[in-house]
Amino acid sequence: MIEIRFHGRGGQGAVIASKILAVAFFKEGKFAQSFPAFGVERRGAPVTAFLRVDDQRIYVRSNIYTPDHIVVLDPTLIAAANVTDGLKEGGWVIINSHLKPEQFKAKLADYRIATVDASGIAVEHRLGSRTAPIVNTAILGSFAGATGLVGLDSVVDSILEEAPVKPEANADAAKSAFDATVLEE
């Protein structure tokens, strides 16, 4: 079983991202389970979403405490919270940031790091506003590119089916992020 944890802030689309990625895995013949965890439900508050993927039915119904990979939609959460809590050694940390992966190595030494300027890509595709870009679909393209666990075509098809607004722009953002993802050297 592969377990993925998403860390974001209210309004960035972490919950929708986990759902869309679950649909993408399902399209590739996997079983998937996606669910959120909320604190105070308000824009800007930390949000966690979870995704489990397996080749067989999934019966576990708990939060994910030892994820294989994490996706960070807001890089300020790396300093504000222990986003890598329980992350398995060698797991991927996909970060929405214009910085290079090596710039996160001091804090995330035991993990593989990929970065993508999902905020810039979202602004370019007019997803959200300049001050509050919606980065969820861009980060999914980056996840597909970095991990290779799911195909970009499945992600794009799922975005076109599941994105609540601007499905084409969201799909284009995922494609742009797939190509713009920077892996640590």
Helix (H) or strand (E) holding 116: strand 112-116
**b/e for 50-68, b at 16 or more Cβ within 10 A?**
bbbbbeeeeeeeeebeebb
Q: Are 46 and 9 in contact (CB under 8 A)?
A: yes
Entry pTM: 0.92
pLDDT for residue 61? 87
What DSSP letter does each residue of 130-150 carry, written as one string?
Answer: SSSB--HHHHHHHHHHHH-SS
Query: For the chain, how are helix, strand and coil distributed in percent, rounded to 5?
Result: 35, 25, 40
* Distances in whole angstroms, Cα of residue 115 to Cα of each of 34, 37, 86, 97, 157: 23, 24, 20, 6, 23
Q: ∠ CA(136), CA(94), CA(43), 5° rounding?
A: 40
Domains of the chain as residue ranges with CATH: 2-183 (3.40.920.10)
The DSSP output letter for 125 is: T
pLDDT for residue 46? 79
Q: Are 5 and 81 in contact (CB under 8 A)?
A: no
Instruction: Give bridge partners of residue 7 from the DSSP assignment.
Output: 48, 72
**pLDDT truncated to tens, each residue of the chain (185 aa)?**
999 999 998 888 899 999 999 999 999 999 999 998 865 566 667 789 999 999 999 999 888 999 999 999 999 998 877 889 999 988 999 999 999 999 998 888 889 999 999 999 999 999 999 988 999 999 999 999 999 999 999 999 999 999 989 999 999 999 999 999 999 87
